[in-house]
Structure 1
Amino acid sequence: MRKKEVSMIILAGGASSRMGRDKSDLTIDGKTFLEMQIEKGEKLGISDILLSGYHGENKYKYPIIPDRFPGKGPLGGLEACFRKAKNPYCLVLGVDVPLVPAEELAALIRQSLHSDAKAVILSHGGHEEPLMGIYRTDLADAMFEEITLRKGAVFAFLRRNGYECYESQVPDRYFSNINDPEMYSKIQTTEMSLKK
C-alpha cells in the first residue's frame, strides 16, 4: 500500500442522544469537530474524504454518504462508504474524537503500510479504538454480512476478520470521546487553559 491509496471516512452520523445536538457541529476554538477532522485528512494528503451520515448542511467539498441500512451503527456507515471509496484502504475516524493529532494518524498509516492485517486500529493505554483505524475497503461484503446476519458489532467484526493494533504513546486526553455536555465543557475549558 502506498499513501496515495488511502481514502478517509469521517463517521458523522451518530444519533448524538447523550449530547442532545449534532456532535459534528460542536466547536473548539471556532472550528467544528467535522472541520477539524477534515483538516487532518487534508494535512495527511488525502483527497478522497467521505462524510458518513452527516445530517447538517453540506458546506464542505466532500460527499455525504448515507447508510444503506439505517440504524446499524458505525458498521452500517462504513459498509456504505467502503463501496464509494476510490482507494483500497480507508482511514476511519469518528467525528467525536476531535483532539487526536494528525501525526498519530500518520503513524497509524505508516504501520498499516507494513501490515498484512485487514485492519490496523489505534490503541492507547490499553484501550483499543476500532473507529480510529486503517481498513481494507474490500471488507464491505463482510460488513454487509455482519450487519444483516448478526448484531453488527464492530469488535465482533474485527475479531472475525482479524486486526492488529498501533500502540500510541501520546497522552490519553487526545483520544477523549466527546459524547455528552459535561465532557464537551471539560474539553473546552482544558483547551482554553492550554492555549494561555
Structure 2
Amino acid sequence: MVSNDTLSPKLNGLVLIGGRSQRMGSPKENIQWHGKEQRYYLIDLLQACCETVYISCRAEQAREMADSLELEQSYKLLPDNYPNIGPIGGMLTAFDLLPEQAWLVLACDLPLIDSAAIAYLIQHRDPLKIATAFANPQDMLPEPLFAIWEPSSYPILKEQVAQNRLSPRQVLIQQQAALIDSTVAEILTNVNTLGEASRMKAIIAGKSQDR
C-alpha cells in the first residue's frame, strides 16, 4: 500500500446498474435492502468519500430515470458508450469522461457493502497498481466490481475490449492488481436470484436485530 496521497489521482464513484437482472426477474438496483433503492443507497455511501458519483446505466435506463424521477443534482447518470458488453463497458465510459481520474466501481448486487468496507478499500488503495481490489475469500480471486481502478487501467481496458476480452477480473489477474483481504467474509456476497434475495433479507434483518 502506498500512503502518499500526492500520488493518488482524484477518486470518483461509479455505481453499476446496467445489467438486465434476468435471473432476478426485476431490476436489482431497485431493491430496498436498507430503506431506499439500492442504487441510491450506494450513491449516498460513495458521496462521502468520492469527488463525484455517477450511475452507470444503459441508455434506455437513463431515459426512464430522467423521465420518471426528479433526480437530485448530485445523482448523475452516465449512459454506456459501449452497450451490451457487460460492466467493462460502463467502466470504459467512465474513463472516457474523466481519463485522468480514478474510479471506485461498485456493482448494485452487493447488498452487504457498507461505509466501513468502502473506507477499508480506500485506506488500502495502491495508486501505483492499475487497481486495488478485494480478494474473494471463497476462491481468492479479485473482485473487480468493488474495486478502485486507476487511470493506468484505462488503455488496458480499451485494449481488452478491442480484442473482445470482456472480463474485468482477468484484467486484474493478468496485471497483478493490488489485492486486499476482506475484513468480513460475507461482504462480497452478490445476489442474482429471488432465492438468494430471500436469504439475504434474512441476513440483513438478523444484523439489524444484533445492533
TM-score in same-fold range (> 0.5): yes
Q: Does residue 61 of structure 2 align to residue 63 of structure 1?
A: no
TM-score with structure 1 setting the length: 0.87
Aligned AA (2:24): M
Q: Does residue 164 of structure 2 align to residue 150 of structure 1?
A: yes
Q: Which residue of 1 aligns with 2:16?
A: 11
CA distance in 2, matches of 1:147, 1:78: 11
Task: Mark the CA change 1:189 to 1:57 in structure 2 (over 3 Å): closer, same or farther.
Answer: same
Task: Mark the CA change 1:88 to 1:12 in structure 2 (over 3 Å): closer, same or farther.
Answer: same
Q: Which residue of 2 aligns with 1:50?
A: 54
Deviations 1:37-83 (A, max 9, x none): 11211232x23111111625153432221221211111111000112
Aligned AA (1:163): A
Q: Which residue of 1 aligns with 2:88?
A: 75
Q: Secondary structure at 2:12's aligned position in 1?
A: strand
Q: Does residue 73 of structure 2 align to residue 88 of structure 1?
A: no
The equivalent position to 1:36 in structure 2, one of 35, 38, 41, is: 41
1:101 Cα deviation after fit: 2.1
CA distance in 2, matches of 1:194, 1:111: 26
Report the number of matched residues.
193
Unaligned runs of 5+ in 1: none
Runs of 4+, deviation exceeding 6 Å: none
The equivalent position to 1:123 in structure 2, one of 121, 124, 135, is: 135
Aligned AA (2:134): L
1:86 Cα deviation after fit: 7.5
Unaligned runs of 5+ in 2: none
Report the more deviating stretch, 149-158 or 12-21: 149-158
RMSD of aligned Cα (Å): 2.2
TM-score with structure 2 setting the length: 0.82
Q: Secondary structure at 2:51's aligned position in 1?
A: coil
